Amino acid sequence: MERITIFIRTKKKSGSIRLRFRLIDGREVDLYHKSEIKADLKDLEKFNADGSLKSKVSIYNKPLFESISREIAAISKVYSEVKDKGIFVNGDMFEEMIDRELHPEKVQRDSNSLLLPRFDRFIKRGFKDGVFGEGRMKHYQVLYNELERFLLIKKKANILPFDFSADDIMDFRNFLFDEYKYVAKNRNLYANVASRNIPTERRGGNTVSTKLKKLQAFFNELEDKEEIAKSPFRKLGKERKRLALKEKYDDPVYLTKDEFVKVMNVDVPDKLQETKDVFLLQCAFGCRVGDFKALTMGKVKVNSDGIPFIHYLPQKTMREQSDYKEVETPVIRYALDIITKYKFNFPVLKYVSGKSGYNAKIKLLLQHCGIDRECKVFDEATGENKLIPLYELGSSKLCRKTHVDVMNKVQIDLYAAGLHKSGSDAVNRYTKMELKDRFALMCTAFEQPMYKVDKDLNVIK
């Protein structure tokens, strides 16, 4: 049980002092609070250490008594909340919490100290300082919107960072899983949200874990800057933290070489032709969809050997590089035809996600092409693996994985044929080769003819 006392440490015999209070709870808790109360030492002689009046005292400073009682009540209330939430606080935080309890109007004036504005500053500063790139910043902004909706629905919009507890993390986790259930009753919160971004089903475990890890990074920064004493994620406990942040990935899904060739050769209706061309082009390049969308004709060059190639800075990792080295990927023959046809003007890429986005159309394309090989996917609801046709797993990520697998397979074939030495870089990572060697390897992998172009991309050989 905690004990709150008036803490007097002065050699003065007379005059006034500014009162301090001390809270002790066992051997581990020893906190101090400096109040704004000024008291005459003669008046204090009539009070016990716990703020009560000494026996047989009938004449005393009533305003002082009321101020001391109010101060002790505030200290007691704040400490009870700290214990109930399991929050670890240091002296500065304890002082601030007492100040907010005694002067709630200050919270209204200083809205920048609230959780949401502080999270917003974290996002903007992280992007400005190069801690993360534009793609990750957008993911953080999505998380900000989700957190804002959660706090509004739970009536906690004015919560401060160090009031956000381990229980709040788990509540937010549950909200992220089941946000779709809140949409109908809170339509006003989704009025400005694009329909494709409004959740319509339960989110997957990996999606939720990834979002929580971003929130954890925010609280880690607050702890590092001593704005909070301890991140609420460190108060989760070992098992709850493992559960909240665990990511479970199924075996990678990609098109086999035969499946890829099948997609190339199947005729598709006009409404799927652009999707087919874009899908095949992304498979040829193997780049992430964000980098793929940013490609233009200005990103196509021709080297001295007449080999066309694309070059770009990968958005996800470029701010982490010290030299900003570009990725250079040769353009194989069928990819050149697609580039020439569209000039990188792909309306299908306007929206990647959503019911009518690029990912959804990839699923339709693969279904039309009969790419229905069964793949094992873990079902979180049943705790068992279930078999799903590959076309249902189609997305832009499939392009990158397919590209990597096709290239890995040809590396193995060339190694087995004795074209690569044991332990060579080319066996492990073909991107370390010179451009002309990678071009030859890609042409072999995708069964495309070698060719050359002039500076205007006209085929000359």
- pLDDT value, residue 106: 61
Strands 16-25 and 29-40: antiparallel
Query: Of 383 and 434, which is predicted with more confidence?
Result: 434
pLDDT digits 0-9 by tens, 294-346? 999 999 999 999 999 999 988 766 555 555 678 899 999 999 999 999 999 99
Strand order in the sheet with 29-40: 3-7, 16-25, 29-40
Q: Is the pTM of this model over 0.85?
A: no
pLDDT digits 0-9 by tens, 153-196? 998 888 888 889 889 999 999 999 999 999 998 888 888 888 87
pLDDT digits 0-9 by tens, 353-400? 888 899 999 999 999 999 999 888 776 666 677 888 999 989 999 998
CA distance 366 to 264: 11
- pLDDT value, residue 405: 86
Domain boundaries along the sequence of the chain:
1-107, 110-243, 255-458
Residue 13: CB partners within 8 Å, gap ≥ 6?
41
Strands (E), 264-372: 300-302, 308-312, 327-330
Query: Cα–Cα–Cα angle for 143, 147, 152, nearest 5°?
Result: 150
Residue 322's Cβ-side half-sphere holds a number of Cα atoms within 13 Å equal to 0
Q: Which of these, 151, 124, 143, lies nearest to 214 by C-alpha position? A: 143
Query: Please, where are the H alpha helices in 103-194?
Result: 105-109, 115-128, 134-153, 166-178
Under DSSP, is residue 289 helix (H, G, I), strand (E, B) or coil?
helix
Query: Cα–Cα–Cα angle for 35, 39, 40, nearest 5°?
Result: 160
Res. 417: pLDDT tops 50? no
Mean predicted lDDT score pLDDT of the chain: 85
Kindly list the distances between the CA atom of residue 271 and the CA atoms of 14, 153, 274, 384, 390, in Å, as whole numbers in the listed order.
91, 41, 7, 37, 21
pLDDT digits 0-9 by tens, 44-84? 999 999 999 999 888 999 999 999 999 999 999 989 888 87
Give the CATH class of 255-458.
mainly alpha
